[in-house]
Each structure stands twice: as structure tokens, then as C-alpha cells.
A and B are shown apart, each in its own frame.
Chain A
Amino acid sequence: MRVGVVVFPGSNCDRDALYAATLVGAESYPIWHESADLRGADLVILPGGFAYGDYLRAGALARFSPVMGAVREHAAKGGLLLGICNGFQVLAEAGLVPGALLRNSSLRFEHRWVRLAVERHDTPFTRAIPLGTQLRMPIAHGEGNYFLPEADLDALEASRGVVFRYTTPEGNPNGSARDIAGVLDARGTTCGLMPHPERAAERILGSDDGLLLLRSVVESVAASTERQPVAVHA
């Protein structure tokens, strides 16, 4: 599996994501924000950090980065796209997943370990997660308070667009509507989540639950290449 991690100016979890991808046997490489070439990525990750300093609004400036044209095309073709933390904010600003991330209800940056309930096991990001498993990973953000107008939330739930929810005992750390921690786009191939699976990828760091997410992607890429062989990119 080929994993391309976009590097925006101000990204600061790009190296962590590149490393975590190697732990599930993927070949990972950075994609510079000015490049239009995703180099045949099976999975594109928009990593955490403070792209463009998060100035104006988190994700607002990154959305216009030259690379985003190629990312959009990749997603439109059904390529897998994962936005983590700041990457989720960029996806939301770019309209690639529904919703907006407001300031945390505490009005503070929140760094802590949370637990996630997995709402669906039939997505490319969750298929390897055993039923009933809760995922433990850290959050670290100032704007992770998921927002959608009520009616749109109902629609999102109806279309099963919510994939991760904060759950007990730690609960909802940021005021997110309906405890939402991660969502999917309509196609189900783009996922945005605030917690950091790449920081929960080794036991020594406190949890390796994040690997389940990456393994899911490996499985689903393997399954889809079995079904429909595609041209191999150099």
C-alpha cells in the first residue's frame, strides 16, 4: 500500500503519520503542498498540525494550497483520504466532509487521552476493528468542536456518516455535537477525525489502537486491488 502524507507549511504530525504507516507495512512518502502529483497514493493523509499557522480559521488557508486540487480529484475518484486533526479541519473547510470545527467548548486547547466508540465496521477505515472495540488515543486541538445545524446532523446520522464518537469514561472533550469525533463523506471513502491514531500506534506510547485504523485501510486496499486490478503507478 502506498500512503502519501501531505506536508503543508505548518503541518507538524506529517512525520508521525509517515512513520505510523510503515508500522502496518505501507510504503509512505511526503507530498509537498505545492505538488499536484500524489504519486499513486492508495491513501492520502492530511496530517495534524497548524497548516499556515491556523491563521484566520483552522484549515481555511490550507484549503487553497495547490495540492488540494489533486487531493480533491483523488477523493472524487473514490481514492481513500484521511484527515487527522488539522487535516480534518482542512477537509471540512474544503467541503470534502460535512461540518465545521468550532473552538472547543472550554475555549482552551485540549490535550488528553480519549476513547472512541466505532459506529460502523463496514468502512475502509474501520473494517479491521473488532466489533465492540473502543479505541484509545490522544486528542490535541483547540478547535475540535464538531458543528452542523440540527437538521443536517439528522441527515448525517441517517446516512451513517458518523464513524467515531467520544465515549465514556472520558467522554466528550470539546463540546462536539452528538459526541462526534469522526465523520465520512457521502461516498464513504473520505474520513476526517480529530483524535490522533498515528500517536497511538505503539504500545510503548500508551496505545496501539490507532494501528487498527491503518490496518483497515491496508485490508480494504488489498481487497479492492483483488477485485479490480488497477494500473500500477511508478
Chain B
Amino acid sequence: MTIPAATVDAVPLHRALGVTDGELEAIQVKLGRSPNDLELAMFSVMWSEHCSYKSSKPLLATLPTSGSDVVAGPGENAGVVRIGDGLAVAFKLESHNHPSAVEPYQGAATGVGGILRDIFTMGARPVAILDALKFGDPSQDRTRYLVRGVVRGVSGYGNCVGVPTVGGELVFHPSYAGNPLVNVMAVGVLEERHLTRAVAPGPGNLAVLFGSSTGRDGIGGASVLASATFGEASATKRPSVQVGDPFAEKLLIEASLELIERGLVEGLQDLGAAGITCAVSETADRASTGIRVDLDAIPRRESDMEPFEVMISESQERMLAIVTAEQLPHVLEVCARWDLPAAVIGRVTDDGLVTIVTGGLDAAGAPAAGARELARIPAAALTSEAIIHQRVAAAPVRRRPMPVPDDAPDAMSDPSPGLPERGMDPGAVLQALLGHPDLCSRAWVTRQYDATVGADTVDGSEHGAAVIRVRGTTKGLVMATDAAERVGLLDPWLGAAFAVAECTLNVAVTGAHALGVTNCLNYGDPERPEAFWQLQEGVRGLGDACRALGLPITGGNVSLYNESAATTIAPTCQVGIVGLLEDIGRRVGPVPGGAGEMVALLGAATRGLAGSIYVDIAGPGPDDRLPTLDLTAHAALLRLLPAAAEQGLLRAAQDVSGGGLAVALAEMCLWSGVGADLTLGVGAEPASDLFGEGPSRVAVTLAPADWDALATLAAAAGVPLQALGETGGDSLRIRLVAQGVASTSDERGAGIADDLDTSLDVLRDAWDHGLPRALGDDAWRPEPHAREG
């Protein structure tokens, strides 16, 4: 076998493949000899960060994963949690950051394809997609190109496979300029009895590869693209881009689910990073068996492929099924009916080895006469016993309470010209916040996503968490994904914990109970002690928050080396949660029903503006501190909300997050088309009361008659409840009154000068046009505002 000379360049082969000298020695120990070139290529992809989790595994081991309803946890393709009635839900978040930086359309498209395969491989029918996207400055041409490509990619793929895209995140922060994040979450529903594992049991069973043929896509994609920091070399990595075919994926979904429902497979594994090598070694290792691969039997798109190319190709839309000889004809019939090429490419063995044979296998599955063995590796050496590195963590020398303009990443170039400085009119600040690209309407994006295919979408992506009904039951699934990148930049522990807090609250405001947590850890180069420290802190924050809230982590994904020559990303612990509504008819939405409802706030503010979008646009102040997170108080709020929903006490509920309470209230007004007349007690720093992003708060509306019941419930739960006023009119009016201060006017000067009174039309204009304005899309038109009766 030859590795193309261009990639070797006088560097020893193993290093060219990203294998360190120490790792090569470890490989030699595992094999008791030196690997040949094919084996080395297989190790290089399996021992990449992406497949082996070699830097993060010891950290992930600390996460809480158990829960009484968890049917499958980390280690499987997706987490699975029981929801009653014999049903379960499968869900997982996964990154496709580096491929999307290189080719945004295909990178995002194949990201969607990959996470969907993780879901239906378990036997679940995918019912929802959520996409969390992070980019640099939206005024830059490069960013705009990436945004357009990524959004089109998600839309092109998700719409075609017929899975609604119902939620996600869109964040712009300069730290993502050179390294955008594309994290995709998928959710599926299955009958628990159809739960299928990615295993290769039963020596003698057949390994059937079905779906697209194997081409040169993504050769080295996993190891080279995901493990090497971007630089000038990226041009030479281009041929490794994977191309997606959503049409093939749709056929793959139907064929796979039919195979599972008819009980035709012993195990099923999708092909993702490291292609066939990963699929055969993982399925064999999980079942303590081996697999002998008949290399010549693998259908190829090109005739002149080298064995290593076939073995590590990341061609999309492929599946590996382990089937008995008796079921083989049925399996092949199903694949043929769905127009999917299928081939028997190997046999399960009892020797614990992955062997690659050319020259064919005989009827018994042994190498045919004259056949040659090209590789022979213990399956465990490639997967469960892959190398682990104990990385060095070091907190930054000076732990910054807040970014000092000079050493913070370049401030965004003028996000909103003519913005008021700190201390100016709160109405103008609110307008600027509603028009901020991170807070404004996402319609520019979401209108490109089919959110209603499947005819189960009760609430799509424009407001808060997505709600999908479970057809044939009274149940609903509520899903959300969140991160707190600006907080994570200042304190990576808090950033991760905040993400869990925000996401749990997004789910709980609907009245749902969280079932479990998935996550995607997006961090920098783990060989850099500061980046590894950020990862360590992030995992600690994630674990601490989930433990305190009693939530199991059922799966996730780790993406490291998110750095470019210019920037390292803000530490980003992306959290995804699925919650269960037992009675979807009792769900609470974020949109008030009309005028005359009481408006109130549940939870108490923790002060601090650091890490907020307010600081992003108004500039940092000398005393800015991070808000704190009280997980016990948060847990109490999470218990209260479903109880209040259960009793039908809430007309609307909306968690306070980006932009603070004022933005949460403004959104409720915009979505209902009805204003509000409110009074807010403020302290010495009114900006913090209005725009601070302290966690664990929910703005609610309710019928005045329900106030006493809600107050009783809140008091019993130990959750502060504060009346703010009532809905009505066509503007948002917030009167600020001093709390514990003698004279309002004396104290108010610190932050805000005036009461807030802004017409909804003005707020709506800012909110509607924020994104197209930021992205320079003059042609885009918002939908005319229409109130639903």
C-alpha cells in the first residue's frame, strides 16, 4: 500500500497520519509487532481524538449517567430514555464543526445526516432536528458565506429526509470567526422492544454493508480534519470533504426501520467517522467477537481505490447490519426494495480480531484459497482499549473576572451603529437588544427549515422550546438546546452549568419534566494546558449541574481543536434536553392569550452583567460581575413549573435568558401582539434588573383569579413570586421603582435614566429585521404580522 507522497512529505508515515511517536510505540505493544501501512492507517483514524476520546475519556467518566428510565446511556449511538406506553425516546447532539468550516453546505448537511443515523440505528424514527450554530462577526463576508452555506446545508438535508427542524441556536461571537460551530441534535421515538444495539454477536453471522457505495470522500476526514488545527494546510485537505445524499438517507431510514421492526438484524451500526474500520471494530468489540472483512466485496464508487482508502473512507449514507444466514435473503430483499445496494462484506468470528482479507472468503467464512490477509488487529485495541492521554490542565495565570478590552478577542465591529452607551435610555437599549443578531427573530433561518413535516409539530422554532406530540398518545416531547458561551469565556465551569440551567428551564416552562441530557463539548487544543483546563472545568460544571438537578447524561460528543490561527473558540458546552409532557393539552406556551392577564416573575435575580449581551453592545463596566447560579433554587423552580402547568395556573411562561427580563417580556408582547403595563422594583443597578442574564427566572402570565393558587404553590416550593403588572395596550411600559432606596432619582443614575415605554411596532421592527440587517440581506422581507384569533 502507498500513501500518496504529497501527504507524507519526508515526514515519517505515522506522523503524517497524525500518530505520535509514543502512540506508535503503544500500537507496537498492542500488536506485538510493527503495524503495516494499512493497519497504521486504521489505527490513525480510530485513535484520533474524534473516535477514541483519548483526551476526554477520563473526564467523561465523572459524569452522572444513571436514571431509572434510562434504557441506553453513553457508549451507544444515542441515549434512550423510557417515556411509558412501551415507548422510548432516543436523542443525541453531535458536532460537525471542522467539515463545515471547510465546506459549509456539505459539512452541515452531512452533520445532519450523521446524527440522524445515530438515532435510527437504535431503532428510533427521527422526529426532530435542532441545530446549534455559532459564527464570527456577521458583518464579515466570510461569516455570511458560512452562515448561508450552513443554513442551506441543514435545510437541504433535513427537509429532504422529512424530519422537521424545530429548534436550535444561532450565536455570533468573534471567537468563532475562524472556527464556526455546527452542532446538530436529533430526537427519535421508538417502541422499546425495538431497541437495537450496535453489536456483532454470533460468530458465523454475516456483516452486510448497505446504502451508498464507498468512494474517496472524507479519506482521513476524522483524523486529519478533526485533529489538526486549521492553518495554511487546509487547502491540501480539501479532497477529504464528504458529500451528502439526503435522498439515499431517506431510503436508509425506511429500510433500517423495516429491518429492525421485522427483527431481521442482530445488530446495526451506522458508518460515520473512520468508516468501515470503526463500524466493524466497534460492533465486534461490544460483542466480544471479531470480524473478518472481505475487502474485495465492498462496493466501490471508484475502481482504483487502495485498501486503506476503502477501510477508512467516510462516504455517507452507509449502514452495517449483522444478520444470520437465514435472514440474509430477507435483508437483501428489503434493501433491494428501497433501491439500496447491499453486499455481504464479512463474517463474525470468535477470535476478537478485525482481519482484512483480499482474495475472498469461502463458504464457511474462512479466507479462500490464495487469499491474503492485509491486516489483523484486536478489535479492542482499535476501540475500547485505544490509547488514553492524561492531558495537563492549567488555569490561565490571571483568571479574569471579565474580559479587558485589550486581551479579549476583537470586539465585534460595530454591531449596531449609533447604539446608546451605558446609562442611556432603556427603551433604546431594549430596541438594540431585540435587534441584536443573537436575540432577534430567527425567521431568516427558520423559514428555510421545514418545521412541520411529520404533522406532529405543536410548536416549532420561533418561540422557546420545541414541542412535538407523540402520535397515538396524549404525550408530548419538549426539546431545547443551549449553551452559555459568553459566560463560559469568563468562567468555563459556570458556562457549562448555565447551559444546563437555561436548557432545563426552557423545557420546564412548558410544564415538561426533563428526561435526560445530551451534550456536545466544543473546546480548543487539549494539548494546550489552558484549553484542557477549560474542557475540564466545562465537564465539571456539566456534571455538577446535572447531579444537583438529578438529571442523567445519556450521551454526547466531544469536539476539540476548535482553533484557528487567529482565535480559539469560547469554551462551549452545548447542552440538549428532551422533556416529557404527560398531557400535551396542559402544555404552557410563551405567548400570552391577550389583554387583561397578570404578569409576574418567578425566581429571584442574581445580579451581574458580565457575560451578558448588554455588555456586548453597551460595553463593559468596571464593576461587572458574573451572576451566580444557585442550583438548589433552580431545582425548586424546575419542580414548581410542571406543578403549576398541571393545575392549569399559567397562561404563558417564558424563561429569562439572553437580554434579560426586559427582552423576555418584550418577546411575550411581540408574539401575542398585546403590550403590557408593568412596574419593576430595581436596585442600584437598574440595567442588571432589566437586562442582566442571571439564571433561574421565569416571566409568566396568568388569569388574575389564579394568583392566590400560584402564590401558594410558589411559597410551598420556596420560589419567590413577584407581580409585575398586566397585559394590554400596544406598547411595553415598565415603570422602574427603587427598592430599598429612599429616592429613586438619586440612585437610578448608575445605570438607567428613565422608565421604559416603547411601542410594539418599534420593538417588532428591530426584532424582525435584526438578522437580515446583520447579514446584509436587503432583499429579505419578514412575514406580515398577523394575529391569530
Contact = CB atoms under 8 A, between A and B. Distances in A.
Q: Tell me if chain B binds chain A.
A: yes
Interface in B680-696: none
Interface stretch (A10-18, A150-158, A185-193): A10-18
A132 B368 CA distance: 76
Interface in A18-75: 19-20, 48-50, 52-55
A109 interface: yes
Interface string B241-268: 0000111101100000000000000000
B329 interface: no
B784 A111 contact: no
B783 A55 contact: no
Contacts of A52: 247
B457 A205 contact: yes
Interface in B301-343: 338-339
Interface in A170-229: 170-171, 196, 198-199, 201-202, 204-206
A111 B446 contact: yes
Interface stretch (B52-60, B98-106, B155-163, B206-214): B155-163
B619 interface: no
B453 A48 contact: yes
Contacts of B450: 109, 111, 140
A101 B455 CA distance: 24
B400 interface: no
Interface residues of B, number: 37
A196 B452 contact: yes
Contact of B250 (A12, A112, A140): A12
A9 B162 contact: no
B471 interface: yes
Contact of B786 (A12, A54, A55, A170): A170
Contacts of A168: 784
A138 interface: yes
Given A9-B251, A50-B246, A53-B246, A16 B160 contact: no
User: Which of B156, B455, B469 has the most chain A CB within a 10 Å cutoff?
Assistant: B455
B120 interface: no
Contacts of A55: 247
B772 to A, nearest CB: 12
Contact of A199 (B159, B246, B452): B452
A71 B716 CA distance: 64
Contacts of B447: 108-112
Nearest to B461: A111
B455 A108 contact: no
Given A12-B161, A12-B162, A19-B471, A50 B453 contact: no
Main SS of the interface on chain B? Answer: loop
B451 interface: yes
B454 interface: yes
A201 B250 contact: no
Interface in B436-474: 446-458, 469, 471
B590 to A, nearest CB: 15
A169 interface: yes
Contacts of A106: 779-780
A109 B247 contact: no
A219 to B, nearest CB: 23
Contact of B155 (A54, A109, A202): A109
A176 to B, nearest CB: 16
Given A12-B250, A111-B446, A112-B783, A204 B455 contact: no
B784 A170 contact: yes
A224 B128 CA distance: 41
Contacts of A50: 159-160, 162, 246-247, 250
Contacts of B779: 106
Count class of interface residues, chain A: 35 or more
Nearest to A137: B452
A192 B616 CA distance: 50
A170 B447 CA distance: 13
Contact of B159 (A109, A170, A171): A109
A156 B457 CA distance: 36
A24 B403 CA distance: 61
Contacts of A10: 160, 247, 250-251
B159 A205 contact: no
Nearest to B785: A169
Given A12-B250, A50-B250, A19 B455 contact: yes
A204 B469 contact: yes
Nearest to A53: B247
Contacts of A201: 455
A171 B155 CA distance: 23
B160 A53 contact: yes
Contacts of A199: 452-453, 455
B448 A108 contact: yes
B155 to A, nearest CB: 5
A54 B446 contact: no
Contact of B160 (A13, A54, A111, A206): A54
Contacts of A13: 162, 453, 455
A20 B456 CA distance: 11
Contacts of B600: none
Contact of B451 (A12, A111, A202, A204): A111
B584 interface: yes
Contact of B453 (A20, A54, A140): A140
B455 A140 contact: no
Interface in B331-377: 338-339
A202 B457 CA distance: 11
Contacts of A9: 247, 250-251, 338-339
Interface string A135-150: 0001010100000000
B160 A140 contact: no
Contacts of A110: 447-448
Contacts of A171: 784
Nearest to B159: A109
A202 B452 CA distance: 13
A168 to B, nearest CB: 8
Nearest to A108: B448
Nearest to B245: A53
Contact of A204 (B161, B245, B584, B784): B584
Given A111-B446, A205-B458, A12 B453 contact: yes
Contacts of A53: 160, 245-248
A217 B662 CA distance: 50
A20 B471 CA distance: 12
A98 B240 CA distance: 45
A4 to B, nearest CB: 18
B452 A138 contact: yes
A52 B247 CA distance: 7
Contacts of B780: 106
Contacts of A138: 452
Contacts of B451: 111, 140
Interface string A85-124: 0000000000000000000001011111000000000000
A110 B454 CA distance: 17
Contact of A111 (B247, B448, B469): B448
User: Which of A12, A19, A142, A206 has the most chain B CB within a 10 Å cutoff?
Assistant: A12
Contact of A49 (B162, B245, B455, B471): B162
User: What 5 A-B pairs have minimum CB-CB distances, sorted nearest first?
Assistant: A12-B162, A53-B247, A16-B455, A140-B450, A169-B784
Interface of A: 9-10, 12-13, 15-16, 19-20, 48-50, 52-55, 106, 108-112, 138, 140, 142, 168-171, 196, 198-199, 201-202, 204-206
Given A9-B339, A111-B446, A196-B452, 15 more contacts: A9-B338, A15-B454, A49-B162, A50-B159, A50-B250, A53-B246, A54-B247, A106-B780, A109-B156, A109-B449, A140-B453, A169-B785, A170-B784, A202-B455, A205-B452
Interface of B: 155-156, 159-162, 245-248, 250-251, 338-339, 446-458, 469, 471, 584-585, 779-780, 783-786
19 contacts: A10-B251, A12-B161, A16-B453, A19-B455, A19-B471, A53-B246, A53-B247, A53-B248, A55-B247, A109-B447, A109-B449, A111-B446, A111-B450, A140-B159, A142-B159, A199-B452, A199-B455, A202-B455, A205-B458
